[in-house]
Every structure is written in C-alpha cells, then in structure tokens.
A and B are shown apart, each in its own frame.
Chain A
Amino acid sequence: METDNLTKNGRSSTRRAFLAAGAAGLAATAGCTGSAAGGDDVVRIGVLEDRSGDFALNGTSKWQTSVLAVEELNDSGGILGKEIELFDPDPQSDNQRYQELTRRLIQREEVDALWAGYSSAARETIRPLINQYEQLYFYTTQYEGGVCDNTIFPVGATARQQLGAVVPYLIEEYGPRIYTIAADYNFGQISGDWVRILAEENDAEVIGEEFIPLDVSQFGSTINRIQEADPDFVMSMLVGQNHTSFYNQRASAGLDIPIGSSTTMAQGYEHRRLNPPALADMYVGVNYMQEIGTEASDTFVERFYDRWPDAPYLNQEAQNNYFSIHMYAEAAERAGTTDQEAVIEELEKGMEIDAPEGTIELDGDTHHMNHHMRIGHADANHDLAFGNEQYIGAGFLREVGCSLPTDPETTQYLPAEVYDL
C-alpha cells in the first residue's frame, strides 16, 4: 500500500507496457553496450552504508531498506522505464574507505545519485568529493544540522528538530536544570550547543556539560559528576557501542535521573539490546521508530521483515533511506531524466512524499525535510510509548538564510556563528 502511495504519480499501467517493450529492446542490445558505465540503459544508484565495523549496527538496516526500495522500484518498472542498478560496496565504517569508494562510484560507476554514510565524520570526509564532482548526494542520518550545500540533500532530522522536540518537553515535565553528556566530535559538540540554545529559549539552564571521546566505555566518574550537579534531567548525545555501556552502568550505579536524547533507541535499538531497566525513563525525540504504530508504519515494517526476516531492527535512518530513494525516483520521473542537475532542480521545487513516518515535505530552499517529530519514552521494562507529535521544519537554515536555488553555496553553518553561546 505504501508503495502505491509513494509512487502514485507517474507509474501508470501504460508506462509499464512501454517498459516491457523497452526491456526487451534492452536485452537485445545488452551485448553491444556491455557494462560500459554511464550508458543510458540503466539508472545507477550508489549506496554506501556500513555493514561491518563500528557502525554496522546502525548501518545494516539503512542498507537493507535501500535494497528494499530499489527492488520495489524495479518491480514497478524502474525509473523512467529503466532498471535501477545498485552499487553497494561496504565502506566498513572506515572514513578512508568512504573516500575511495565515493571516488569510485562517482568516477567509474558514474552513479546518478549517491546515498552514503552514517556518521557526520563520514559525510564530511566525502563532502569535498561531492562538491568537486557536483554529485547528487543524500545523507540520511539524523545529524547536527546546518549543511547548506548545492548537491546535498540531508534528509534526516536535524538536531534542532530532534532536540527541539524533546528538550522543551523535558523542561516542562521535569524542570530547568540540564546536564549534557555528548560524544566528543562535531555531532556531539554541536548538539551540545543546541541544547544550550533550546534551554535559553525555554528559560532553562545547562548546569554541566561533558564531552566524552568515542572510545571511552567506563562511566563511573561521569555518573558521579552528574550526581554532584544534581540536574532535573540529563541530555545524552552519546554515540556508538562504547558509549552504549553508559546506560547499563547508569542503572547499576542507581542514577535515576530522567534522560533525554536525540540518538539513543531510534538508531541502535538499545531498548531491545540492553537488559531493563538500563533505559528506564529515557526520552528520545525522533521522526521515526518501527514502534510508532501508525498504519503506514506498520505496513512498512511488515514489508521490511518479509524481505529481511533476520533483521534485528528497523531504525530511524533506515526509514530515511527508504523514503528518500522513492523521493528521488519521483523527482527523476517528474524531471523526465536522471541528469543530476535537472533532478536537483526538480527537487528544489519542493515535494510532498508519503513516508512511513507520515506525509512530509522537502524544503527546496534548504534541501532538508520537514519532519513529523515524536517523543518516544521507554519505561523500566523498556516498553515504548509515543506522544507529543509535532511537524517541525528546517528552521535553522531558514534563519541563516540558506536558499540554495537562488544562492548556491557549500557551507555548514554552526549555531555558534548565529547564536550567543
């Protein structure tokens, strides 16, 4: 049902008939064209998602939904009557490999569109290449926000969207004294800035902050420092497998202060992996989790597990890969070509798409999505409840005046440049 919604425009039965003929023709000429890259016979999509290494836990389902989306599109006739060919080597959570593979996919495979990367570090490592070759690129992880870049579509929710949903809610619910713990790289640092901005906007205060290197897995003193400061709630933007240990250690040390997050549960499904009550009273601001329970989501979840029966979880980012591949297909159909410039122009007109999270819009000016943001809450048994649904736009980039169709640039804006921190 979701497929029908997602692809309702422009995939009529007449086209399907046309397609069949085209495919037959294709088969006949396949011998001549061979596998020469850049031919017009197929649409080439590159997907670089981590299936091994540090981020395999988060990247695997991103890859799985990408495959699912491509298969669905191919089953219903491909894009513009052409079959989609998927190039999906495993970058292994290694930024150097990201660079090599991105170069290869752009230069040798000449992909028409690229999906790549879990971490912000991976995105930033390939961004110079994306800029150099003006490659149409979708980044789907929820991230710190601020990327205003000609050919990049960061379709995941931003910190302002994720934190903007959960921080004001927790201030209201528990009080104004916040303690931030975050991973010590651009994502965590910028997220920390956002917590401070949102605190100020809501008459609250960040009374303590700690940025923790990614390889740290021991949190005894962090827990003591939080207890010393005695905040009303903790905001945690910890990331990755080592940091996940924090939640278990928090439970065993008896730290029973509520925690808000923009990362936990929605990406690494900690509520499934950790023994309760590690995540008791944990809140996360998200656009999607497989448990949100809407009809569109349930259909999507069912189809996902039909295709990947052994998959452990379907995370927020995986949904983003899924809808953005369908969104790309739609834009290419409307543009009537897979020429990257034309597709980008089409996307920049703005677009509405029926995603599993709900119907959402692409904001053409900033290349970001307006998302349905929800607050997920885990109780002591790790049962989830969702509430406080809001539709939040790409506010920050609008504030700084990012308007890509009229004013092309390749910048990442930082909250510190705009706000008094």
Chain B
Amino acid sequence: MTYDTLNLLFQFLDSFAFIVLATVGLAVIFGMMGIINLAHGEFILVGAYGTTLSYGAGLPLVAAMGVGVLVTTVFGLVLERTVIRRLYHRPLDSMVATWGLSLLSIQLARIVFGNTLSQVGTPLGSISYGPFSYSAYRVALAGIAVAVLGGLYWLFMYTEFGTQARATMEDEPTARSMGVDTDRIYLGTFGLGSALAGLTGALYAPTITMTPELGASFLVEAFVTVVVGGSSVLVGTSLAGGFLGVVNATFTNLAGTFIGQVAMLLAAILAIRLLPEGITGLLDSWREKRAEGEQ
C-alpha cells in the first residue's frame, strides 16, 4: 500500500518535471512575446545534441550540459536577430516561419550528425523501495523543475530586466517612451526562452534517444500545457504542470501508459472547453471578483 503511494508520488514527480521542463521555454516565448514557436522542440534538440556531443568530446556531464545551454542560447539569439524579430505581433506568420525552421533544423541535424548519436547514460543510479525502484536522476529533475520556476519568479519580480520585460510585454509603446530599450528586451527574453529550452534538452539528453526528431516528444506536452495554463508564464506553467501531472500519474499508474495519455488529453480538452483563457484566466477572474467584493 505505501509502496503504491510511493509509486504514485514518483510518477507524479516524473510527469510534473517532464511537463514543466518541456513547457517553460515555450511559455516564456509564447506567453510573453506572442511568438508561437513551433521550433521549440528543435531548440530542445540543440540543447540535447550540444550536451551529448560535448560529453562525447570528453567534458564532464555537468559542464557538457552547460555547453548545451550556451549553444542553444546563441542559436536562439541568432535566430531572433535574423528571423524572429520580423514576426512580433504576427502570431500566424510566426507559426509558419518557426515550423519551417523546425523542418530545416531537423534535416540539418540529420545531414551533419547522421540519424543518431551514441547516448549518454543516465547518472545517479536508482532509489529502491520494496520490490520497486525509480531512477534517482528523474526524481532530481523534479527538484530542478521547481528550482527553475523559482528562479524565473525571482528574475521577473526582483530584477530590473524582469520589470522592464514585463513592462514591454504589457505595453510596448509606453515602455519605450519610459526609456526601456524594448529591442534589447525582446532579444533578452527570446534568449532566455532559448536557454530554458536548451536546459531541458541538456537535462533530458541522458534519458532519451538521440535522433534528429527527439524534439517532437516534447512539443505536444508543451503546447497542451501552455494552452491549459494560459498567458501567465509562472502561474500557468506550474499549475497546469501540477494538474496535468496528477491526471497523468494517476491514470498511468491505475491503467497503464496508454490510458494515462488519453486521460491527459481529455483533461486538456475539458480544461480548454471550461476555461478558454486557461488556468491563469480563471485566477484573474477570481481576483477581479474579490476586488469588486471589497469595494
């Protein structure tokens, strides 16, 4: 009985970490800048390949992950300067352009690196309890996911960049008239989103198979979570990640992986039907009601 509870807990942590880490880079770029980045999976690919290749070249794993993040950040910054900056306030165009980027990156990775890379093994070993065991690394990922959310909260709430970024996303002309270099803020935010996607790739590189299509397995989860979460990056991602993680873990544990996936999609459809603005929309309307009540 307690073992089953532990199974459920670990499965939840696993799902939560995967959902949050898959989403967070996309959420920053999509939620804050309105760019629908269909190449999000390929940003993760860049991070994963950067990590695996530099590990293969002899770097220790943590340093290799640092390289993965760095490479993805540079990749994102270059793309922002060359392609993405022309697409702000044009969400549909951004979708087509980033989709093209995605196809391009996948084929490029295939041409340059072939159909596969030899994979880094998962570090940290396993946690055993009774007849069961779980990968310790995957449990650690849940801790990292929470830390990433915490770090973002600090960045957006307590730094000058965060304030300026929020101001720019809220009302760009006013922010500019107040002396904010919005061009630089856009660049910085996109770079941040890229770095987070790169981090996801770097963290999952030791657990997934290295092929040029690996981004695809993150993309659906990321989009579902962003849509369920709504426009606020932090609140949306963490609550939607928690909600979908619980649904996924419960049904997967009860009835297997297939039912777990079905349940998660059904939950997402229901959430979108009932909360068209996502979870953050619901919270906003609660807050407004309470404000009215106080007056």
**A interface residues with partner B (beta carbon < 8 Å):** 52-54, 56-57, 60, 184, 210-213, 215-225, 227-228, 230, 241-242, 244-245, 248-249, 251-255, 272-276, 278, 310, 312
Q: Contact between B137 and A213 (Cβ–Cβ < 8 Å)?
A: no
Q: Which residue of B lies closest to A275 (CB)?
A: B121
Q: Interface residues of B, CB < 8 Å — how many?
A: 49
Contact check, A213 vs B258: say whether CB atoms are below 8 A apart: yes
Q: Which residue of A lies closest to B107 (CB)?
A: A52
Additional A-B contact list (6), CB under 8 Å, known A52-B110, A249-B207: A218-B15, A223-B133, A224-B11, A228-B132, A254-B125, A272-B118
B116 touches A227 (CB 8 A): no
In the complex, which residue of chain A has the Cβ closest to the Cβ of B106?
A52
- By a CB distance below 8 angstroms, the chain B residues around A52 are 107, 110
A228 touches B131 (CB 8 A): yes
B115 is an interface residue with CB less than 8 A from chain A: yes
Q: Which residues of B contact A248 (CB under 8 A)?
A: 119, 121-122, 206-209
**Chain B residues, CB < 8 A from A216:** 257, 261
**CB distance A242 to B209 under 8 Å?**
yes
Contact indicator B122/A312 (Cβ below 8 Å): no
Contacts of B209 in A (CB 8 A): 217, 241-242, 244-245, 248, 273-274
**Interface contact A275-B11, CB-CB below 8 Å:** no
Chain A positions within 8 Å of B256 at CB level? 210, 212, 221-222, 225
Give chain A residues whose Cβ lies under 8 Å from the Cβ of B14. Answer: 218, 220
The answer to whether the Cβ of B194 comes within 8 Å of any Cβ in the partner chain is no
Chain B residues packing against A (C-beta within 8 Å): 7, 10-11, 14-15, 18, 107, 110, 114-126, 128, 131-138, 206-211, 213-214, 216-217, 220, 249, 252-253, 256-258, 260-261
Q: Which of A249, A253, A273 contacts B118 (CB 8 A)?
A: A273
Q: Are B119 and A220 in contact (CB under 8 A)?
A: no
Our pick among B18, B114, B253, B257 for the contact of A210 (Cβ within 8 Å) is B257
Contacts of A252 in B (CB 8 A): 121-126, 135-138, 207
A163 to B138, CA, bound (A): 33
Q: Report if A212-B7 is in contact (Cβ < 8 Å); known contacts: A245-B209, A248-B122, A274-B119.
A: no
Interface centre among A53, A215, A227, A241 (most CB of B within 10 A): A241
Residue of B nearest to A58 (CB): B115
Cβ of A222 and Cβ of B122 under 8 Å apart?
A: no
Which chain B residues lie closer than 8 Å to A213 at the CB level? 257-258, 261
| A56 near B110: Cβ-Cβ < 8 Å | yes
Q: Measured between C-beta atoms, what is the minimum distance from B11 to chain A in Å? A: 5
Chain A residues with CB below 8 A from B214, complex form: 241
Residues of chain B contacted by A245 (CB below 8 angstroms): 207-209
By CB atoms of chain B within 10 A, which of A215, A217, A220, A245 has the most?
A220
Q: Is B133's CB under 8 angstroms from A312's CB?
A: no
Task: Choose among A210, A215, A219, A227 the residue that contacts B216 (Cβ–Cβ < 8 A).
Answer: A215
- Residues of B within 8 Å of A241, CB to CB, are 209, 211, 213-214
- Which residues of B lie under 8 Å from residue A273 when comparing CB positions? 116-119, 209-210
Q: Closest chain A residue to B7 by CB distance?
A: A224
A210-B257, A220-B11 are contacts. A312–B116 as well, Cβ < 8 Å? yes
- Taken together as a complex, chains A and B put the C-alpha atoms of A249 and B14 apart, in Å, by 12
- Determine how close the nearest CB of chain B comes to the CB of A408; give it in whole angstroms: 38
Beta-carbon contact of A224 and B257 below 8 Å? no
Q: In whole Å, how far is A357's beta carbon from the nearest beta carbon of chain B?
A: 24
Name the contact of A249 in the complex, choosing from B10, B122, B125 (C-beta under 8 A).
B122
Please indicate the chain B residues that have their CB under 8 angstroms from the CB of A278 in the complex: 119, 121
Output the nearest chain A residue to B256 by Cβ-Cβ distance: A210
Q: Closest CB of chain B to A77's CB: distance in Å?
A: 34
Q: Contact check: which of B115, B119, B135, B137 meets A312 at CB < 8 Å?
A: B115
A222 CB contacts on chain B under 8 angstroms: 256-257
Closest CB in chain B relative to A93 CB, distance in Å? 9
**Can you show 19 pairs from A to B with CB atoms below 8 A apart?**
A54-B213, A215-B217, A219-B257, A222-B257, A223-B133, A224-B253, A242-B208, A244-B209, A248-B206, A248-B209, A249-B122, A252-B137, A252-B138, A273-B116, A273-B118, A273-B209, A274-B118, A274-B121, A275-B120
